[in-house]
Amino acid sequence: MPDPTGYARGVTAPRLEIDALLADPATKIVVCCGSGGVGKTTTAAALGLRAAEVHGRRTVVLTIDPARRLAQSMGLTELDNTPRQVKGIDTEATGGELHAMMLDMKRTFDEVVQAHTTPERAAEIFANPFYQAMSSTFAGTQEYMAMEKLGQLRSRDEWDLIVVDTPPSRSALDFLDAPARLSRFLDGRMLRMLLAPARSGGRSMFSLVTASFGLFSRSVQKILGAQLLTDLSGFVAALDSMFGGFRQRADETYRILQDPQTSFLIVAAPERDAVREAAYFAERLVAERMPLAGLVLNRVHRSEVESLTAERTEVAAAALEAAGDHSVTADALRVHAGLIRLIEREVRVAGTFAESFPAVPTVSVTAQPADVHDVDGLRMIGAALS
């Protein structure tokens, strides 16, 4: 099979040693990131299962939006925002445990509020339409709450290993940016100026800015209505009183992510968009000095009959068809030709990542004919990863 980069066989990229990573007691957090639809959640679940079964670690998997059947396979029938032990797995020999939880974004936000204020104040905040909108739809709330939950799990110090599945963001990078964006919003100068234009006015050198701001706030009033500004102001005042800086929390999360006890795994499939996102993400992790452990390339196709090229197979299939014999073999040959062409394309696409990041360790997982949604399937994926 043509393999110009040697990528498919791991010739260029060093092999990612998943077992060494999972077994190392110094590995406390594994973050699986990558674009949507590449099997991130499945990878996270398979890693968690392997860490518990094979390496005897007390593991929790934090999933964001699992497929229904995958969630059921782990016993996650409801979204209750607390880790539940996964039953029916084989940890007798090692003494490990696997727990899993699904993130409930709104509930996590509610918990943060409740933990930091009086019940009366909390009730007031929950009733605020701004809070309602923001806790369920703010661009980035899901990412922020995933990080918040990670911080909570980490601080309880009851887990050997936390495996995190990241939200299905528009772009994989949202995951890194959202907490900072949310905190910037919540304790931002912008908001203070908007809410207290009188205070920030006067003979400030920013008079143009301030003037625009008065105009801005009037425009917002005109467009959205005064009620909204009142609600917003109430919301911010309430939050302000209790948080002592969202930014500080975001910074803490950021430090957890930069800690050498954390490992980032980029998950991708050998498709153009997914590999492009993976490359952006790798670039970003390197720039932010986040510990990038490697690339997991899911759904890679393989053939045991690589020596039979697509062209030769297609010619043979056409000849058999023309002769009117052996239609089953002709079809089997067409299946093979299609597979070889697919492999060629995958190698080409995946090679673009290896060219840019030759030092990033990589492991590829062979495509399964059917989707994985039981513990046996996860175990198989775990074995394929290592």
- The residue type found at 140 is G
Query: Distances from the Cα of 359 to the Cαs of 22, 24, 293, in angstroms?
Result: 20, 21, 10
- Single residue of 32, 146, 274, 381 touching another protein by CB under 8 A: 274
- The residue type found at 307 is S
Among all chains, which residue has been given the structure tokens 């994985």? 372
Minimum distance of another protein from residue 14's CB (angstroms): 27
Question: Does 175 contact another protein by CB under 8 A?
Answer: no
Candidates 92-100, 105-113, 163-171, 377-385 — which segment interacts with another protein by CB under 8 A?
163-171
In whole angstroms, what is the distance from residue 75 CA to residue 64 CA?
Answer: 15
In whole angstroms, what is the distance from residue 264 CA to residue 324 CA?
Answer: 55
In whole angstroms, what is the distance from residue 47 CA to residue 379 CA?
Answer: 9
- Single residue of 133, 173, 383, 384 touching another protein by CB under 8 A: 133
- Single residue of 219, 230, 241, 356 touching another protein by CB under 8 A: 219
In this complex, which beta carbon is closest to another protein, that of residue 129 or of residue 358? Answer: 129
> What's the DSSP call for residue 89?
-
Where in 112-131 is the site for another protein (CB under 8 A)?
129-130
End-to-end CA distance of the chain: 24
In whole angstroms, what is the distance from residue 329 CA to residue 380 CA?
Answer: 30
Minimum distance of another protein from residue 130's CB (angstroms): 7
- Single residue of 58, 181, 192, 247 touching another protein by CB under 8 A: 181
* CB distance 165 to 44 below 8 Å: yes
Q: In what order do the strands lie in the sheet with 262-268?
A: 84-85, 97-102, 58-63, 161-165, 29-33, 262-268, 292-300, 362-366
Question: Does 20 contact another protein by CB under 8 A?
Answer: no
Minimum distance of another protein from residue 372's CB (angstroms): 10
In this complex, which beta carbon is closest to another protein, that of residue 85 or of residue 303? Answer: 303
Nearest to 360 by CA among 295, 285, 284: 295
Question: Does 156 contact another protein by CB under 8 A?
Answer: no
Candidates 6-14, 94-102, 116-124, 164-172 — which segment interacts with another protein by CB under 8 A?
164-172
Query: Distances from the Cα of 336 to the Cαs of 194, 218, 339, 350, 369, in angstroms?
Result: 64, 66, 5, 21, 15
Question: Does 330 contact another protein by CB under 8 A?
Answer: yes
Q: With CB under 8 A, what is the number of residues at the site for another protein?
A: 79
Minimum distance of another protein from residue 44's CB (angstroms): 15
In this complex, which beta carbon is closest to another protein, that of residue 27 or of residue 298? Answer: 298
User: Which of helix, strand or coil describes residue 57?
Assistant: coil
Where in 194-213 is the site for another protein (CB under 8 A)?
194, 208-209, 211-213
- Single residue of 250, 316, 343, 360 touching another protein by CB under 8 A: 316
Minimum distance of another protein from residue 260's CB (angstroms): 32
